[in-house]
Structure 1
Amino acid sequence: MSQFLSNVEPNIIDDEMLQKAIEEKCPEDMEHLMKWENIDFKAVKELQLGFKTILQIDNLWPFECLTKLQLDNNVIEKIEGLESLVHLVWLDLSFNNIEVIEGLDTLVKLQDLSLYSNRVSKIENMDTLQELQIFSIGKNNLTILEDVIYLRKLKNLRTLNLSGNPFCNHEDYTLFVVAHLPSLVYLDFKLVRESTRACTVSTSLLRESQRKSVLRCGSRGKEPWWSCCSQSDLFQ
């Protein structure tokens, strides 16, 4: 959506926008109690701020008990201003103009993160997100397939969407990702078959693959090790 908003005046997250977002989550008969000066910010668990042409993430620090934050379809260029939201479990930053993964260090409870349709060119700065289970970073500018290896740090990652990135055109893309992230259950909206695990190699060869872009299987001459597996073995 962000690419279609270039001619729209960007907004900031101000008191008026936040109050409207809170009121939308409250029953109609409670709205009279939702005067800005009386709001218990710690009681607010969810905020929906999508489609607001927001340029900069700001003024969210009072909502320290938020568990779900929706900031999709804006014109955000940088991940910032989230440091105090340490209870976030779900964060949607899809369809923005973000170029770098950053500013997430304190979100240690995060389980679901979407950066779909942004401008990210490298997977990085996610070391503290050890609770992350679902990560969508499809339709970005990821070109180096080996960068996927970074995600091995996220031991609880089970669902990953990388579709629409330039490196997905690599002929061995699927096999490479599955081999290096053996705990994945879903890749690009498809269930990974257990039989795919048979296409992985020994730990020593996996370590070698981190130094080389392509593994060679000694018993098959110069053919890549994954050539013994067909694409039909990967998904069901």
Structure 2
Amino acid sequence: MTVTEELVRKRAEHNEGEICSLEELALHQQDIEKIEFLNKNCKKLRILYLQNNLISRIENINRLKELEYLNLALNNIEIIENLEGCESLKKLELTVNFIGDLTSVENLVNLGTLEELYLIGNPCTDYTGYREYVIATLPQLKVLDGEEIGKSERITAFQNLSKHYKTILKSQEDYFYKRVCRFLSVNVQALEKVQAQQRRETFSKKLEENNGDIEKIAKEFWQEKGPYTPESRTETYEFLRLQKEQESQKAASFEETKPRRKIFFAEDGRPYNINEPKIEFKFYEEIMENEQYFVLDIAAYKNMDTSLIDCDVQTNYVRVTLRNKVFQMALPEEVHPDKSSVQRSRVTGRLLVRMPKVKSSSIIEPQNTKWKRTTGSVEKTESKDKMKGGKSNFLTVGETTASVDWRNITNAEDSRSGDLEMQKRAPVHRRKERENSPSFVDNPDVPPLE
């Protein structure tokens, strides 16, 4: 798989699908084997993630002049190359690759902005004097493999550069010799092909024996020991790809073979009660405009679109389909399907189905308090748990059915009766007028006091 325009646009949703102005792009875990398309079409890139792929060579990114961060960890790269044109590169990650040619870091000398370099997990990190050689070769570096480079360490690296250079060349020769002997030898190459073919045949046989169940075989595959090479990593990715395909096929076959309930009626034609979506509902009767109705209140999913809901009312049952899941209820009496109505709440999403009955019958009143209008009177009924002594209280507008004893309107049991008796027994203090003094003279010319 290579980098294509379709893939880049799909991963550029955060930039409204625009490629030319794209500054950050994540293409990790896409099984990419070759870098293409980015060099000419994404020149504004500043951050590029390409880790965990199958890239074997660094190419087609040397025109990204504004690139500051490049992540190529967990790939099959063996040589550091084609990065001379990335003038703004500050951080380069090449963790866990197969870089054995350590002298290829000299291709980064002209990148004056490069500050951080990560080479952990590569064969070159096992060479004697690896760290000092890289520090002396790239004086612009500030961080190598996550560790800051001090002044004394840099001075020591420059002093020992010539000595480490010879050692590193010898280590490189040994590494490439083993690599060549392993993969260019006719016997070893033939042996690798035979072993790979045997592994494929064994794998296919085990798949047939386990009826396509790859989980049991995966454990054996991961426990098997093998060489750590770019080819072995490619084989691992192929196994992972096959594992994903098997899981997707298994999921698809499970959906196809999943049993679906198609029996909605008994042999005698009686409809079943079915609740496949496992939703809550209420079923009761009510009177509207002198007609008796069956009412079905279904707690439909609040965020489900109304186009995914289908309601079918028949004479003896009602069926509601919520996205291929059926809710069906048998009705105790026949109803008028053509006069039925369905409403849905915009706030809660509940579905209300009203179905008028064909024949009127007595309705069982609920036990909570309600007012019932009758001819010539208004009658209040109370629940049995609130009635005391089996007595019923009536509020009538017509003739009086019971007289009220006004003399005993205040009972002795009333809490206010004690206060009334205390008021009767309390002495009444009347206001007395003061007698006139002996020197009082009643003068009619004096005006009265106001």
* Range class of TM-score, shorter chain: 0.5 to 0.7
Q: Are 1:68 and 1:91, in contact at CA under 8 Å, matched by a contact in 2?
A: yes
- Aligned partner of residue 69 in structure 1, secondary structure: strand
Residue 23 of structure 2 aligns with an amino acid whose one-letter code is T
Provide Cα deviations, 1:161-180, integer angstroms capped at 9, x if missing partner: 01100010012111111111
Match of 2:19 among 49, 63, 73: 63
TM-score by length of 1: 0.63
Residue 196 of structure 1 aligns with an amino acid whose one-letter code is E
Q: Are 2:81 and 2:107, in contact at CA under 8 Å, matched by a contact in 1?
A: yes
The alpha-carbon deviation at position 20 of structure 1 amounts to 7.9
Aligned to 1:162: 119
Query: Number of paired residues?
Result: 167
Provide Cα deviations, 1:137-164, integer angstroms capped at 9, x if missing partner: 1111111221122211211100000110
Counterparts of 1:34-73 in structure 2 under 5 Å? 44=15, 63-73=19-29
Q: Are 1:87 and 1:107, in contact at CA under 8 Å, matched by a contact in 2?
A: yes
* Shift in alpha-carbon separation, 1:106–1:193, aligned structure 2, 3 A: same
Identity of aligned residues (%): 29
Counterpart check, 1:114 vs 2:83:
no
Larger radius of gyration: 2
- C-alpha distance in 1 between matches for 2:47 and 2:106: 23
Aligned to 1:219: none
Residue 141 of structure 2 aligns with an amino acid whose one-letter code is L
Aligned to 1:80: 36
Q: Give the root-mean-square deviation of aligned CA atoms.
A: 2.9
Counterparts of 1:157-196 in structure 2 under 5 Å? 157-196=114-153
Q: Are 1:146 and 1:213, in contact at CA under 8 Å, matched by a contact in 2?
A: no
Counterpart check, 1:132 vs 2:89:
yes
The alpha-carbon deviation at position 213 of structure 1 amounts to 3.3
* Shift in alpha-carbon separation, 1:195–1:21, aligned structure 2, 3 A: same
Higher RCO, 1 vs 2 (CA within 8 Å, ≥6 residues apart): 1
Residue 79 of structure 1 aligns with an amino acid whose one-letter code is I
Q: Name structure 1 gaps, 5 residues minimum.
A: 1-9, 26-43, 48-61, 216-236
- Aligned partner of residue 119 in structure 1, secondary structure: coil
Aligned to 1:220: none
Question: Which protein is richer in strand relative to its size?
Answer: 2
TM-score by length of 2: 0.34
Counterpart check, 1:94 vs 2:51:
yes
- C-alpha distance in 2 between matches for 1:178 and 1:187: 8
- C-alpha distance in 2 between matches for 1:127 and 1:162: 18
- C-alpha distance in 2 between matches for 1:174 and 1:16: 38
* Shift in alpha-carbon separation, 1:14–1:81, aligned structure 2, 3 A: closer
After TM superposition, the structure 1 stretch with the greater mean CA deviation from structure 2, 10-19 or 67-76, is 10-19
- C-alpha distance in 2 between matches for 1:138 and 1:185: 17
- Aligned partner of residue 213 in structure 1, secondary structure: helix
Match of 1:144 among 98, 101, 105: 101
Q: Are 1:127 and 1:154, in contact at CA under 8 Å, matched by a contact in 2?
A: yes
